[in-house]
């Protein structure tokens, strides 16, 4: 083989090798399929949302406004009384919660002097109060949390006449409440609750007969000191 033939073969080999190398360098295996990974879904924390509560209370009742028929009374007075109650509630946020409560206020003596006859009348009043309440906790209930609140509902008032009236009578009345207090966490589930509640109970009256009229009491107000516990469901 002549020199020219060898030169041509060598040139062809060089060109072929260059093309093959370039092709090999440009070759890529198909990429592996990408599997989409869904983003994490936030799971709400449903712990400690619902709670139960129990309370005892001591009520200082304001002097009532008594009347018998169209006759007014003097020296009206309503004694102090005790109450016991329970309820359940829901923590809407770390600061806002609401509950439904039912309280029984034990009998308190009511007295007054008839302004015309000077006769002394005596009666007793007991009430059952149901309220829907809403509160704002100024802290997140983790330790010490002051709060303010308000409530609206009904009061079932039973007034029993002792003297100057014949018998007992019952009525449902509008009830309103305003609260201020604090809670203190004892452990993961229990909170101690102490507070003041201003309570409006509407009115009440005794029964009447042909010989004894109904003794009426308007605008019943009470100032209550309440102590209790709340238990948050885990």
- Whether 170 is covered by a domain: the verdict is yes
pLDDT at 70: 80
- Measured CA to CA in angstroms, residue 44 lies from 41, 47, 48, 49 at distances of 9, 9, 12, 11
Q: How open is the CA angle 139-85-93, to the nearest 5 degrees? A: 25
- Whether 150 is covered by a domain: the verdict is yes
- Whether 10 is covered by a domain: the verdict is no
Query: What stretches of the chain adopt beta strand conformation (E)?
Result: 50-61, 65-68, 71-78, 81-91, 96-114, 120-137, 144-163, 168-185, 190-200, 204-205, 215-218, 221-232
What sign does the dihedral 146-148-154-155 (CA atoms) show?
positive
> Which of helix, strand or coil describes residue 187?
coil
- Whether 234 is covered by a domain: the verdict is no
pLDDT at 174: 97
Contact call for residues 110 and 122 (beta carbons, < 8 A): yes
- Whether 31 is covered by a domain: the verdict is no
Please tell me the distance from the alpha carbon of residue 175 to that of residue 200, in angstroms, as a whole number.
5
pLDDT in tens, the chain (234 residues): 555 555 555 555 554 555 455 444 555 555 666 666 566 555 445 456 999 999 999 999 999 999 888 888 999 999 999 999 999 999 999 899 999 999 999 999 999 998 888 888 889 999 999 999 999 999 877 789 999 999 999 999 999 987 555 578 899 999 999 999 999 999 888 999 999 999 999 999 988 766 667 889 999 999 999 999 999 997
Domain span holding position 113: 50-227
> Which of helix, strand or coil describes residue 141?
coil
pLDDT at 36: 62
- Whether 35 is covered by a domain: the verdict is no
Number of domains in the chain: 1
- Whether 15 is covered by a domain: the verdict is no
* pTM > 0.85: no
pLDDT at 210: 61
pLDDT at 68: 87
pLDDT at 161: 81
The secondary structure of residue 39, as a DSSP letter, is: P
> Which of helix, strand or coil describes residue 71?
strand
Choose among 91, 60, 110, 107: nearest CA to 230.
91
Residue with tokens 């209930």: 141
- Read off the CATH number of the domain in which 193 is found: 2.40.160.20
For residue 112, the cross-strand partners are 121
Supply φ then ψ for residue 178, to 5 degrees: -135, 135
Q: Which two tokens stand for residue 32?
A: 């592996």
> Which of helix, strand or coil describes residue 15?
helix
Please tell me the distance from the alpha carbon of residue 53 to that of residue 169, in angstroms, as a whole number.
31
pLDDT at 42: 52
- Whether 36 is covered by a domain: the verdict is no
């Amino acid at each position: 083989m002549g020199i020219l033939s060898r030169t041509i073969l060598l040139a062809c080999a060089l060109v072929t090798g260059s093309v093959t190398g370039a092709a090999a360098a440009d070759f890529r295996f198909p990429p592996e399929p990408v599997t989409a990974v869904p983003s994490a879904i936030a799971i709400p924390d449903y712990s400690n949302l619902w709670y139960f509560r129990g309370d005892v209370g001591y009520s200082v009742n304001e002097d009532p406004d008594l009347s018998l028929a169209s006759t007014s009374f003097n020296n009206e007075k309503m004694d102090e009384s005790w109450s016991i109650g329970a309820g359940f509630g829901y923590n809407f946020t770390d600061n806002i919660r609401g509950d439904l409560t039912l309280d029984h206020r034990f009998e308190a003596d009511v007295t007054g002097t008839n302004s015309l006859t000077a006769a002394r009348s005596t009666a007793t009043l007991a009430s059952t109060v149901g309220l829907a309440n809403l509160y704002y906790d100024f802290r997140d209930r983790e330790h010490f949390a002051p709060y303010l609140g308000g409530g609206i509902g009904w009061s079932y008032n039973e007034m029993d006449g002792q003297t100057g009236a014949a018998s007992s009578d019952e009525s449902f009345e509008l009830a309103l409440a305003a609260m201020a207090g604090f809670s203190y966490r004892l452990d993961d589930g229990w909170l101690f609750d102490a507070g003041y509640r201003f309570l409006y109970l509407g009115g009440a009256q005794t029964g009447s007969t042909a010989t004894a009229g109904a003794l009426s009491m308007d605008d019943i107000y009470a100032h209550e000191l309440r102590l209790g516990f709340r238990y948050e469901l885990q």
